Amino acid sequence: MATENTDPRISPRAGQLPAQDQLVDTGKLLDAYASLTPDPASAAQRVAFGTSGHRGSSIARSFNEAHVLAISQAICHWRRRAGTDGPLFIGCDTHALSQPAFESAIEVFAANGIDVMVPAGGEYTPTPALSQAILVYNTGRSNGLADGIIITPSHNPPEDGGFKYNPTHGGPADSNVTGWIEKEANRLLAEGLKGVKRLPYAQARRAPTVREHDFLEAYTADLGTVLDFDAIRASGLRLGVDPLGGAGVHYWARIAERYRIHLDVVSEQVDPTFRFMTLDWDGRIRMDPSSSYAMRRLIAMKDRYDVAFACDTDHDRHGIVAPSGLMPPNHYLAVAVDYLFRNRPQWRPDAAVGKTLVSSAMIDRVATRLGRRLYEVPVGFKFFVDGLLDGTLGFGGEESAGASFLRRDGTVWSTDKDGIAAALLSAEIAARSGRTPDLLYRDLERDFGVTSADRIDAPATPEQKRKLASLSPDQVRSTELAGDPIESVLSRAPGNDGPIGGIKVVARSGWFAARPSGTENIYKIYAESFRGEDHLRSILGEAQGIVNKAID
C-alpha cells in the first residue's frame, strides 16, 4: 500500500502524468525562439556558460536565435584563436528548441567555411556519441584536430534549450574556454550581431563543407571495446531500457541487434512536450533518470526484468532499476568502481578513481580497499577529462548520475559522461557476478557501513553567497561535527587543488559540503552519515549553523 507523502518539499502531483495545461506550447516556444530578441543589458538574457554550456528558454529570452548565432560565431573565433582547423562534429537532442538551434548553428558555421559533420539522416545525437566521434577522429593526429557541439539542456524541462562546446579533447570545455566564448558572444549580442556571418539554412545545408557522419553506427559498433557483451549475451539476462524520449532512442535497438542481447526498449516515443514523463519531485517535467518520481514508468516494470535502466535526454546520465527498485546514484557508482577495478586487468595499475567531492564517501572506502588512489575534484565533469584521456583515471563519476570509464584495454573511450555505457555496465556486472547491482551494494554496506545522505537548500543573500564562495578553512571555528571530531575543512579539492567555491567539512562518520547556487539566492548543503538518519539530520542542522556563522 502506498504511503502518503508528508514531505512539504514534494509536490502532491509528483510521480503522476502531467495535466494538459502543464504541457509546453511548442508552437509558442518556437515562435519565441525566432521572434524574441534578448536584451544584452539584462544579466538574465545574456549568454552564460555554466558547468554544461549555455541554457535557457526562448519565452524567457534566455535561449533565442540571437544567442545561438552569437555563440556559434564566437566559437568560430575561438577555433581560429586556438588553431583548431579540423572538422566540427555537431548533434542535438529531442527538446523542442534543439532542432531550430541546430539549424541556426549550421547557418553560421557554413558561412564561416567551417567543415561541419552533421548526423546522418537527421538522427538525434547523444552526448557520448559526440565525444567518441571527436576522440576517434583525433587519434594519431597532431594537427587538423576536430572538436564538437552538442545542442541539449540535458535533463532540463521541455521549454529549455542548451548549447555545449567540447574542444579537441572531446570533453566539456574548461572555464578558460567557456569564459572567452561567453564574453565574445555577449559582445556580438551587444553589437546587434553585426559581426555574425550567416547563410540561409537550405543553402548552408548544401554547402560542400557540410557533410554527414553516422554517429549511431560509429558509436554502437565501437561499444564492444568498452563492455563484455559476450558475458551479457551468455547470461540470458532479461534487460529493459527506457530512453525517456531522448537522443539515444534509436541506439538501443541497434545495440541489442548488434550484440544479440535480450534488451527490451519499453518505449521509442519522441514528443517535445514529454507528455509521457511522470512529474518530478517539484511537479515539473524533468527527464532525470535518478529521480524515482520521473522514473515511475520503468520502476513499475521492474519485475519484468533482471536489470533495467534509463538515460536522460542527451544520454549522458544513467538510472539503474534493480529488483529492489531505483538505485540511488551514489550506490551504483560505488558498485561500478568496485567491479571495474577488479575486472579490467589491462587498465594501468596506477589508474585512479575519480569522484566529485559531493559524491559518497563509500567510494573513498572502496578505492582504499582496492588500493587505488582517489582523485577528488570540484563539481564538474571537466575535471576528469585529462585523466580519462591519458588513462591515469580509470573512472570518473559525479553524484548526479554521470560517469565515464575507459575501454577494456585501458585507452580512452569518452571524456564526457556516458549514460549508455554506464547503464549497460549494470548488465555486465549482473552477468559476470551472478548478482544484481543492488545486492552488491548491500555487500559494500556490510563491509563499510550503511550510509544516509541528503541535500538541502538554505536561503542566502547575494553577499552571503559571495562570502561562502570565498570561505577559507580557518574561518570555520567548530571542532566537532555531530559528535565526531572534525578531521579536515577543505576549500580546495584534494585531487586537483581546484577551488570548491565553498567548503567541505569531514569527520570520521560523516561530512557536509556547502556551495552557493549560481542561479538562486540559496546555498546548497550536501551531507552524508555512516551512523544513520538521525545522525544525518544532526549533520545537516550543524552544517547550516556553521555556514551561517561563517558568512553572517
Q: Which domain holds residue 407?
A: 219-448
Q: Do 270 and 390 share a domain, yes or no?
A: yes
pLDDT for 453-509, tens place per residue?
A: 999 988 888 999 999 999 899 989 899 999 999 999 999 999 999 999 999 999 999
pLDDT score of 6: 63
Res 377 pLDDT > 50: yes
Residues classed as catalytic = 154
pLDDT score of 1: 34
Q: Do 387 and 507 share a domain, yes or no?
A: no
What pairing do the DSSP bridges indicate for beta strands 263-265 and 239-242?
Answer: parallel
Residue ending a domain, among 213, 245, 262, is: 213
State the chain's mean pLDDT as an integer: 96
Q: In this structure, is residue 11 part of a structural domain? A: no
Tell me how many domains the chain contains: 3
What integer is the mean pLDDT of 198-211?
98
What integer is the mean pLDDT of 121-149?
97
Q: How confident is the model at residue 168 (pLDDT cuts 50, 70, 90)?
A: very high
Q: In this structure, is residue 10 part of a structural domain? A: no
Q: Do 386 and 402 share a domain, yes or no?
A: yes
Residue ending a domain, among 213, 246, 267, is: 213
Res 9 pLDDT > 80: no
Percent helix, percent strand, percent coil in the chain, to nearest 5: 40, 20, 40
Q: In this structure, is residue 153 part of a structural domain? A: yes
Which cell is 528 given?
A: 552524508
Closest by Cα among 422, 267, 278 to 337: 422
For residue 538, the domain's CATH number is 3.30.310.50
Q: Do 229 and 200 share a domain, yes or no?
A: no
Euclidean distance between CA atoms 355 and 364, whole angstroms:
9
Res 450 pLDDT > 90: yes
H helices, E strands: number in the chain: 17, 22
Q: Do 392 and 368 share a domain, yes or no?
A: yes
pLDDT for 402-422, tens place per residue?
A: 999 999 999 999 999 999 999
pLDDT score of 95: 98
Q: In this structure, is residue 5 part of a structural domain? A: no
Report the percent of the chain where pLDDT is more than 90: 93
What pairing do the DSSP bridges indicate for beta strands 160-166 and 147-151?
Answer: antiparallel
Q: In this structure, is residue 145 part of a structural domain? A: yes
pLDDT score of 2: 42
Q: Do 417 and 460 share a domain, yes or no?
A: no
Q: In this structure, is residue 12 part of a structural domain? A: no
Burial of residue 474 (number of CB atoms within 10 Å: 0-12, 13-18, 19+):
exposed
pLDDT score of 489: 95
Q: Do 440 and 456 share a domain, yes or no?
A: no
Q: Do 97 and 246 share a domain, yes or no?
A: no
pTM: 0.96
Res 220 pLDDT > 90: yes
Closest by Cα among 392, 348, 346, 342 to 366: 342
Euclidean distance between CA atoms 43 and 539, whole angstroms:
36
DSSP class of residue 317 equals B
Q: Do 200 and 232 share a domain, yes or no?
A: no
Q: Do 400 and 429 share a domain, yes or no?
A: yes
Res 444 pLDDT > 70: yes
* Phi, psi of 267, deg, nearest 5: -160, 135
Q: Do 236 and 191 share a domain, yes or no?
A: no
Q: In this structure, is residue 2 part of a structural domain? A: no
Which cell is 326 given?
A: 531505483
For residue 441, the domain's CATH number is 3.40.120.10
Q: How confident is the model at residue 351 (pLDDT cuts 50, 70, 90)?
A: very high
- Identify the weakest region by mean pLDDT among 325-329, 342-346, 353-357, 474-478: 474-478
Residue ending a domain, among 410, 431, 448, is: 448
pLDDT score of 521: 81
Q: In this structure, is residue 9 part of a structural domain? A: no
pLDDT score of 3: 43
Res 198 pLDDT > 90: yes
pLDDT score of 5: 57
Q: Do 438 and 363 share a domain, yes or no?
A: yes
